[in-house]
Structure formats: structure tokens, C-alpha cells
């Protein structure tokens, strides 16, 4: 019997060691499992796709490693409102931990889909004036926050830049979708800005690409096209590749200068662009997402207003026989020559 005790003791040690080994390999030996965050990303326009790259890069800097403790479900659409609503609903059905949506229309779709759930929404590149996306900049309310597009003030500033480059242009043309969330406020700001000036705002509201084409064609065949310069508005229709392409074609045929909006419009042929950096927008949104994951309610996180950057297409300016002052050149983040 004395010999059986050591044997039983050894068997107990071996069995205990086996349990410990199994615990390590199967359950991590009781250690708390790291939270894996699931983020749905809804990109609503091809030109803005790098905003998603911005949030991913900054989230990595903040310690969220893709495939380890964060997973992204990225959906890229191109001016497809029905698709945006469908994807936003999918994110809610999948019970993601956060929805990141941009620009304005996807942001509204995400807010509507997440209504009544505990899923926070972070938006980017969305105007918040004249709509109910948020309650205020300082306290957005509900379960939403984000990085706004400073539409009203930037639209007036772009009008100033356009007038500085083309001081002889009195008839400023805007063609835009009146149903886009940011359009009414931006148009009203422009009307107010020119009220006591010699400028005239020539407006053509259009609802879709076909109407845009027909409207431009009607002006093209008239004896007087009725405009001296074009100002691109902060909405999607005129900034899709098709919409802006039609405007650029019309402008080139009639030697009409264009004041652009988002950065890429300067690359494509506008005299300038004045907008936030779309990659930077994603990085700013990541800071807000991190605060949410750390326990701060989204609706209490202040909406961020991004920095605006001027890009001048000096080549186009010279081709139109115009000049950019040294003061304006000094304010440009980039000069395209």
C-alpha cells in the first residue's frame, strides 16, 4: 500500500498537468478574451473612398489591429441611395459595434437604420445645417457624432475665391440638386452673400443627370449662355464623374471658368478646389470611434469641423487668360502647374 501512494500522487500530478495544458490551448487558461470590434463602413461616392483608408490607418495607430481586435465590413457605392439604405439596414441586422458612413446621404441612411438600437453612428463629409442629422455641433445627441462638411461657410468662401480670380464675372452659375441635404442652406448663403453686390446668381435646379444634361444643352444652343462663371455646389450630382464631366465639357466649349468644390475637381479641370482632405476626415473620425469604444456616448462627443485646403490649378487659370495674385498663391496648399 505504501507503494501505491506515490503512484496515485504521480497520477494526480500528471492529470493536473494535463488539465492545465488543455486549459491553455482551449480556453486561454481563464484569461479574459480580447474584444473584437465590428465596424460597418458605408462609402457613398467613388471619389471619397480614401476616407475609409483614413479611419483604418488612424485606428491602427490607436491600437485597433485589423483581423485581431477589429474587423471592417466595407461597402463602396456610387451615388446609390437605395443601396445605401440597404447596406445600413444590413449593418444593423449584423449588430455591428459602430457604423461609419460618408458623405451626407449615407450618413442619413445610417442614422435612420440605427434608430432605436444601441449602435453608434459616426459620419463624415456631411452637412449638418438645415437638417436634423444632429442637434448641435457641441452636443449632437442621440447615438451619433462625426466630422461635418462646413458647407455654408466654405461655399461663400469659394465664391470669394472665384470672384478674386475672375473679377469681371458678374453672372455666377450654380446647377445643383435641390433635394440634396446640404443644398438649401448653401444656396441661401450664396443669395445672402451677393445681396449687396453687383453679382447675379443664375440658378438651375436639376433632379438627376438627365436633367443636368438637358439644361446645359439648352444653354449651349442659345444665343447667350447667360453666365460668366460656374461655381460647383456642395452636393453629389455635380461632383460625380458623370455630372462634373458634363459641366466641364460645357465650360470648355464656352471658355467658362469653374470654381471647384472637392479636391479632385481641381485635378479634373476646375481653376481651384476648396475642401477638407478626405483621407484626413477618416483619421478624425477614428478619434471619435475610439472614444465611443472606450465608453463615451456618441451623442455627447462634439462634431469636428475639419480644416479646409485651397488647391489652385495654375495651368487652367493661365489657359483661361487669368491671373492668380501672390496673396492667393501663398494661401494654396498645392499649386497644380
Whole-angstrom Cα distance, residue 215 to residue 203? 11
- Tell me if 37-149+277-306 shares its fold with 152-275+310-336: yes
Task: Specify the DSSP class assigned to residue 272.
Answer: E
Residue 20 to residues 23, 31, 113, Cα–Cα distance (Å): 5, 13, 46
Beta-strand (E) ranges in 85-156? 98-102, 121-126, 144-148
- Other beta carbons less than 10 A from residue 144's beta carbon: 24
Give the residue extent of every domain in the chain: 37-149+277-306, 152-275+310-336
- The pLDDT of residue 13 is 56
Give ∠ CA 153-158-163 in degrees, rounded to 5.
130
* pTM value > 0.75: yes
Q: Contact at 8 Å (CB) between 162 and 231?
A: yes
Query: Which CATH code fits 152-275+310-336?
Result: 3.40.50.2300
- The pLDDT of residue 9 is 54
Query: Which CATH code fits 37-149+277-306?
Result: 3.40.50.2300
Residues of the chain with pLDDT under 50: 1, 23-24, 26-29
Cβ burial, residue 4 (10 Å; 0-12/13-18/19+): exposed
- The pLDDT of residue 1 is 47
Strand, helix or coil at 231? strand
Instruction: Pull the grid cell for residue 17.
Output: 498537468
- The pLDDT of residue 165 is 98
Whole-angstrom Cα distance, residue 100 to residue 109? 11
- The pLDDT of residue 151 is 82
Amino acid at each position: 500500500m505504501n507503494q501505491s501512494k506515490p503512484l496515485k500522487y504521480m497520477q494526480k500530478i500528471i492529470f493536473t498537468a494535463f488539465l492545465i495544458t488543455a486549459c491553455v490551448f482551449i480556453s486561454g487558461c481563464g484569461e479574459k478574451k480580447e474584444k473584437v470590434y465590428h465596424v460597418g463602413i458605408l462609402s457613398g461616392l467613388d471619389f471619397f473612398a480614401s476616407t475609409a483608408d483614413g479611419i483604418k490607418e488612424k485606428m491602427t495607430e490607436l491600437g485597433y489591429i485589423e483581423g485581431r481586435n477589429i474587423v471592417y465590413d466595407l461597402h463602396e457605392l456610387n451615388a446609390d441611395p437605395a443601396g445605401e439604405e440597404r447596406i445600413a439596414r444590413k449593418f444593423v441586422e449584423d449588430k455591428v459595434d459602430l457604423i461609419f458612413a460618408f458623405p451626407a446621404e449615407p450618413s442619413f441612411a445610417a442614422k435612420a437604420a440605427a434608430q432605436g438600437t444601441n449602435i453608434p453612428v459616426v459620419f463624415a463629409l456631411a452637412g449638418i445645417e438645415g437638417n436634423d442629422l444632429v442637434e448641435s455641433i457641441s452636443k449632437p445627441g442621440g447615438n451619433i457624432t462625426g466630422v461635418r462638411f462646413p458647407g455654408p461657410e466654405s461655399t461663400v468662401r469659394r465664391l470669394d475665391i472665384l470672384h478674386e480670380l475672375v473679377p469681371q464675372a458678374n453672372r455666377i452659375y450654380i446647377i445643383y440638386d435641390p433635394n440634396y441635404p446640404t443644398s438649401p442652406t448653401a444656396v441661401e448663403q450664396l443669395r445672402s452673400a451677393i445681396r449687396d453686390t453687383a453679382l447675379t446668381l443664375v440658378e438651375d435646379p436639376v433632379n438627376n443627370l438627365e436633367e443636368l444634361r438637358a439644361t446645359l444643352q439648352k444653354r449651349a444652343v442659345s444665343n447667350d449662355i447667360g453666365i460668366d462663371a460656374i461655381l460647383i455646389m456642395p452636393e453629389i450630382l455635380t461632383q460625380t464623374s458623370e455630372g462634373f464631366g458634363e459641366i466641364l465639357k460645357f465650360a470648355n466649349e464656352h471658355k467658362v471658368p469653374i470654381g471647384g468644390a472637392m479636391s479632385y475637381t481641381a485635378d479634373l479641370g476646375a481653376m481651384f478646389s476648396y475642401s477638407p482632405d478626405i483621407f484626413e476626415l477618416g483619421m478624425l473620425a477614428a478619434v471619435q470611434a475610439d472614444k465611443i469604444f472606450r465608453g463615451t456616448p456618441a451623442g455627447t462627443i462634439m462634431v469636428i469641423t475639419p480644416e479646409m485646403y485651397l488647391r489652385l490649378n495654375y495651368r487652367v487659370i493661365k489657359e483661361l487668360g487669368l491671373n492668380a495674385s501672390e496673396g492667393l498663391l501663398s494661401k494654396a496648399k498645392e499649386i497644380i502647374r
